[in-house]
């Protein structure tokens, strides 16, 4: 009997993978990896490791989750060391829990290796702290859509006033709806918003605006998935860094990926 590892690869920068995750990759016989896993990480796999791409894009899932579960069970039953490599953390909007359930139901030993999640790391790389003693004492990580892409099932009414900072995953497609819901349920339309595309990578881009203006900013700048949306006063810290730091230093910090 083999063993399966559900592993978080971090948000994009290969240097952000954990040592434990790296060891799992190095000993794996089979790796099933997602679209947002940096290819540089896979170079540490064994030469004869079987790599299986399981990438998904919004509204495009060429490999169904049931098929992925089947492959995890199949290769584990062959006595192989199997790694399911997922962007960010496997238990943060990664279906990692579903895969653990499938493996346990089939009597397979499984271990979860946490990873750095994009909702915290990506804002940090853009010069935005997810919390701040004076600006935000609470935050929530939120999905921008529910199954089948429906944003209406998310409790935007509760989120609008419950926490200081929102880090929203997979929300670009539904951005107009999200902004409208947050304003309708209590957020001021002047609330700062940042959107970071391809965060922590060499292609990172950051745009800022407010709940009332960010939709037009995104359209003008052509921002696309993958991206993290940050809503809250902590977004203003990015500008504060620019004012406090010597010329050039703040910009290099904010784009250091």
Half-sphere exposure of 54 (CA within 13 A, CB side): 24
Active site annotation includes 170: yes
Is 34 catalytic? The answer is: yes
The single residue of 3, 44, 56, 164 carrying the catalytic annotation is 56
Catalytic residue, chosen from 13, 29, 34, 89, is 34
Mark out the alpha helices in the chain (DSSP H runs).
19-27, 39-42, 65-77, 96-105, 118-125, 156-162, 175-184, 214-221, 237-244, 249-254
CA dist 115 → 17, 19, 88, 121, 133 (Å)? 7, 10, 5, 11, 25
Angle between helix axes 175-184 and 214-221 (nearest 10 degrees) is: 170
> Pick the catalytic residue: 13, 29, 170, 187?
170
Q: Based on the residue annotation, tell me whether 46 is a catalytic residue of this protein.
A: no
> What positions carry a catalytic annotation?
34, 56, 170
């Amino acid at each position: 009997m083999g063993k399966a590892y559900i592993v978080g690869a971090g948000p994009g920068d290969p240097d952000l993978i954990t040592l434990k995750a790296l060891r799992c990759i190095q000993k794996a016989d089979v790796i099933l990896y997602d679209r947002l896993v940096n290819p540089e990480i896979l170079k540490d796999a064994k030469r004869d490791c079987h790599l299986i791409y399981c990438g998904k894009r919004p509204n495009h899932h060429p490999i169904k989750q049931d098929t992925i579960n089947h492959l995890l069970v199949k290769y584990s039953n062959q006595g192989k060391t199997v790694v399911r490599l997922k962007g960010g953390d496997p238990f943060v909007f990664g279906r990692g829990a579903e895969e653990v359930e499938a493996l346990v139901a089939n009597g397979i030993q499984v271990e979860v290796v946490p990873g750095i999640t994009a909702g915290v790391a990506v804002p940090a790389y853009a010069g935005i702290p997810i919390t701040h003693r004076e600006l935000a004492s609470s935050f929530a990580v939120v999905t921008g859509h529910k199954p089948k892409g429906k944003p209406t099932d998310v409790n935007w009414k509760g989120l609008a006033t419950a926490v200081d900072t929102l880090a929203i995953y997979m929300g670009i497609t539904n951005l107009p709806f999200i902004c409208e819901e947050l304003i309708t349920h209590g957020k001021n339309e002047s609330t700062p918003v940042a959107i970071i595309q391809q965060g922590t990578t060499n292609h990172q881009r950051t745009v800022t605006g407010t709940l009332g203006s960010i939709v037009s900013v995104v359209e003008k700048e052509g921002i696309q998935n993958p991206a993290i949306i940050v809503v809250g006063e902590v977004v203003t810290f990015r500008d504060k860094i620019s004012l406090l730091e010597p010329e050039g230093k703040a910009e290099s910090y904010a784009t250091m990926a």
